[in-house]
Amino acid sequence: MPRIVRRSLLSAGLATGFSAAIGPGHANDVILRRGNISEPDTLDPHLGSGNWEFAILGDLFLGLTTEDIRSRPIPGAAESWSLADDKLTWTFKLRPGQVWSDGVPVRASDFVFGFRRLLDPKTAARYASLQYGIKNGLAVNTGKMPPEALGVRAVDDLTFEIVTEAPLPYLPGLLMHYTAFGLPEHVVTKHGDAWTRPGNLVSNGPYMLEMWEPHDRIRVRKNPKFYDAANVAIDVVEYYPIEDEKAALDQFRARQIDANIGPRGFPIAELPWLKVNMPDEHVIVPQLAVDYIAVNMRRKPWNDPRVRLALSLALDRDTVTAKVNRDGRRPAYSFIPPDIANYTTPPRLFFADWPLEKRQAEARRLLADAGFGPKNPLRFDYNFMTGRDPRRQGVAEISLWSAVGIYAQLQVNEPKVHYNMLQEQDFEVAFAAWIADYDDPETFLYLLDSRSSGFNYGGYHNPKFDGLLDEARRTLDIEQRAGLMFQAEQIALEETAVIPTAFRTARMLVANYVKGFEGNSKNIHRSRWMRIEGRPS
């Protein structure tokens, strides 16, 4: 894992070429300072795993498709694409004259290299399973076939082809994700793990990496070789890792940052003050996302469905969302958000309409059947993320569990550490959240596929569930496909594969002089669309 230039290197970086990469500052630079929820682990698109990395990677790199201001897919490195009659073969035409930031042409072979590297098991990409829809993707990633067997090829320098295992109607949206970015093969092969260091990294997006001071800031500068550079209004973007919502608000009020773009950009307790004092500078937007609790079924007693169900029954989702979260999120009685495309009304947890007293009684009965009670209470560590509002939510849930004789201890870590623990399966019970990578129910159900390495946190494994997903992936009829996924979600809910708690919102701070910002359900906001107008001096 590379990729960070230490402070000692930064201060002494003259010998590394770092200072030359920065270049002189410009007095007239238009600068956007963005809060970021955590310090990135990496700027390698194949090793990232969180939206705190995606925010930066999406400014540096450009996939075949990219996001518009509302996070909808539009042409990116590819100016057009077509789908063959077999519904499996996609052909992308790259933009002529497009180059990397070092002037080397962007070629279709860079995308072949990128996909093969992503799915090569030697890369150990945590998010590789997101691209299993490509022909032989699973076989390549599990070492059963060589990377050359992957269903991608360069027809010529400007023509790239993808063959999928089954029809993927959502592929243009999926290709916006950083796992689908092409990589500069000439740089990666030259520098190895050090290719993402300032001075080495070259990109094809609207910005270039200029500086990374760990736990301080990352700075990117406008890429003059970007094909649409004439329409990029921000010269420099700086990203500051700010985990505490109150600290973010304080910095925003002092104009040390210009925006803190969710998912929890300010403390919910400050919402009344913001409504009065900054009515046009705070935003709350519903997300295509779910908060849930992951339970590690690889360990006892969490392999017992009675214990998992007791945890779920004891939670009062309506009260927590209304009185603790207070940011407009909705209680979740399904895993898939109800407003997702290509689906029907999701199934609901069978106890959704039960009063809390009935749920608590059933939870106590299940715990007793599983061998837990006053003389042998269920105890565990509950892993959560840092932040004032997450802590309040965790404390509320622990209190609800204690009412039925379940005793949890809150353990908090910064977001990237928390999710690393989830991916490494080093937990018992933990908070998790998922924002849709594309507008389709599979982006949620794939988390419970036993073959989804790295993101099936709890280790759920049901061959019938996997089989329904596979059948849905082969089904062309959209209604039949939705029905199969409905059945799969129903099975997962019945087995308490996860414990959904809320359909979340994103709350953000955006200064009124930052224009070109528009809230969207995926909370992706590329700096290339923004501009500064009337910033106070």
Rounded Cα distance between 514 and 512, Å, is 5
| Most trustworthy range by pLDDT among 41-45, 46-50, 228-232 | 228-232
Judge whether 518 lies within some domain: no
Shared domain for 45 and 108, answered yes or no, is yes
Overall number of domains in the chain: 2
Provide the residue type at 9 as one letter.
L
* Confidence (pLDDT) at 282: 95
The CATH number assigned to the domain holding 375 equals 3.10.105.10
Q: Which of 202, 237, 272 is the last residue of a domain?
A: 237
pLDDT of 14 reads 25
Query: What integer best gives the mean pLDDT of the chain?
Result: 91
Amino acid identity of residue 30, one-letter, is V
Do 53 and 43 touch, CB atoms closer than 8 A? Answer: yes
pLDDT of residue 28: 87
- State yes or no: pLDDT of 453 exceeds 80: no
Which of 173, 206, 237 delimits the end of a domain? 237
Contact in structure between 135 and 115 (CB atoms under 8 Å): no
- pLDDT at residue 9 is higher than 60: no
Mean pLDDT of 472-476: 87
Domain that residue 101 falls in: 7-237
247 in a domain, yes or no? no
Tens-place pLDDT, residues 122-175: 999 988 988 999 999 999 999 999 999 999 999 999 999 999 998 888 899 999
Q: Does the residue 359 lie in any domain?
A: yes
Same domain? For 204 and 293 the reply is: no
The CATH number for 215's domain is 3.90.76.10
Q: What percent of the chain has pLDDT over 70?
A: 95
pLDDT for the residue numbered 476: 82
Q: What is the mean pLDDT of residues 272-290?
A: 95
* 318 & 382 share domain: yes
Q: pLDDT tens digits, residue range 423-442? A: 889 999 999 999 998 889 99
Residue 223 sits in the same domain as residue 367: no
- Lookup: tokens for 213: 């001071």
Q: Residue 261 falls within a domain, yes or no? A: no
Tell whether 297 and 173 lie within a shared domain: no
Residue whose C-alpha is closest to residue 150's, from 443, 80, 161, 159: 161
* Residue 400 and residue 336 share a domain: yes
Residue 274 domain flag = no
Instruction: Tell me, yes or no, whether 246 lies in a domain.
Output: no
Task: Provide the pLDDT for residue 5.
Answer: 27
User: Cα(319)–Cα(383) distance, rounded to whole angstroms?
Assistant: 21
Residue 187 domain-assigned (yes or no) = yes
In three-state secondary structure terms, 416 is: helix
Whether 129 and 36 map to the same domain: the answer is yes
Average pLDDT over residues 389-396: 90
The pLDDT of residue 25 is 56
Residue 152 lies in a domain: yes
**Cα 25 from Cα 376, distance rounded (Å):** 65
315 and 232 inside one domain? no
3-state secondary structure of 35: strand
> How close are the terminal C-alpha atoms of the chain, in Å?
41
Q: Report pLDDT for 244.
A: 87
195 and 309 assigned to the same domain: no
pLDDT computed for residue 231 by the predictor: 97
